[in-house]
Amino acid sequence: MKLILLGPPGAGKGTQAAKIAERYSLAHISTGDMLRAEIASETPLGKEAKAIIDRGELVPDEIIIGMVANRIKQPDCVNGFLLDGFPRTIAQAESLLGFSEIDRAVCISIPDEMIIDRMAKRRVCPACKRTYSVEPGSRWEQFFCTECGARLITRDDDKPETVRHRLEVYAEQTYPLVEFFRSRDMLSEVDGTGTVDEVAGNIFRLFEGE
Ligand code: AP5
């Protein structure tokens, strides 16, 4: 299967992508994680991307398209892949459909208030990239990764003012993709407001029926 996971920042794309990729043995391709790896390695691309990401803007199409086109040629994509965070503009979507077949685009929808709450609680493991939701006033043990023990961090682009700008950018530049894929009969929409397992169940039912 070749899938796209769409949805606003904080909708739970990364959380669900990990579950979908594991269940269907797909390569999980997160353009956000790829860019953050470039930033951590302090490459020229990483330095350029950091300033853009920290402002809550989108990295230029030509950079992202080239990254994804190369990534899906890797051997782990032979049995299928799941694109998490790509495409994000109409130009990226048109380009993708030119260089790869895509079976389905799944859009996870949640209201903005819930996004702002989830982002405020999000912590990530800088080592293994696992994502956590940490309640205010949590015990200190909850600030360490349960997989690898690293201290969890807050993403620089999860500051409330940056989150609000990312939501505006999503509405202007990425939301039009919902209609783009709907008009091609490629879109499935999923309610993302339930628990992680409920949302995963909604997604699995799309592929496996009731
Ligand atoms: P990226 O990393 O892709 O960020 P995003 O799309 O904004 O999405 P997030 O990672 O913020 O959220 P998510 O939907 O994955 O939610 P998560 O599962 O973490 O991109 C970052 C930046 O890189 C972009 O702003 C842009 O600058 C650049 N970029 C990337 N791709 C690009 C492209 N194609 N073109 C141009 N630029 C690009 O969940 C959020 C929180 O909620 C977590 O704490 C999680 O534990 C919790 N949670 C998840 N599900 C649930 C649930 N059901 N109930 C309760 N809590 C939940």
For the chain, helix, strand, coil in percent to 5 are 50, 15, 30
Q: What is the reported pTM?
A: 0.93
Pocket test residue of 112, 131, 158, 198 for ligand 1, highest count of atoms within 8 A of CB: 131
DSSP string, 93-136: HHHHHHHS---EEEEEE--HHHHHHHHHHEEE-TTT--EEE--T
- Its CATH architecture, for the domain 2-111+161-208, is 3-Layer(aba) Sandwich (3.40)
Closest atom, ligand 1, to C-alpha of 169: 25
Question: From first to last of its 210 residues, what are the pLDDT tens digits of the chain?
Answer: 999 999 999 999 999 999 999 999 999 999 999 999 999 999 999 999 999 999 999 999 999 999 999 999 999 999 999 999 999 999 999 999 999 999 999 999 999 999 999 999 999 998 888 889 888 777 776 789 999 999 999 988 898 899 999 999 999 999 999 999 999 999 999 999 999 999 999 999 999 976
111-135: b (≥16 Cβ within 10 Å) or e? eeeebeebbbebbbbeeebbebeee
- Within a 10 A sphere around the Cβ of 57, how many other Cβ atoms? 15
Q: Which residues pair with 123 in a beta bridge?
A: 132
Sequence letter at residue 71: R
| Domain residue ranges of the chain, discontinuous segments joined by + | 2-111+161-208
With the CA atoms of 9, 15, 18 and 24 taken in that order, what torsion angle do they form, in degrees rounded to the nearest 10? Answer: -90
- Ligand 1 binding residues, C-beta < 6 A: 7, 9-15, 31-32, 35, 52-53, 56-59, 64, 85-86, 88, 92, 118, 121-122, 131-133, 157, 166, 195-196, 199
A 10 A CB-CB count for 8 gives: 24
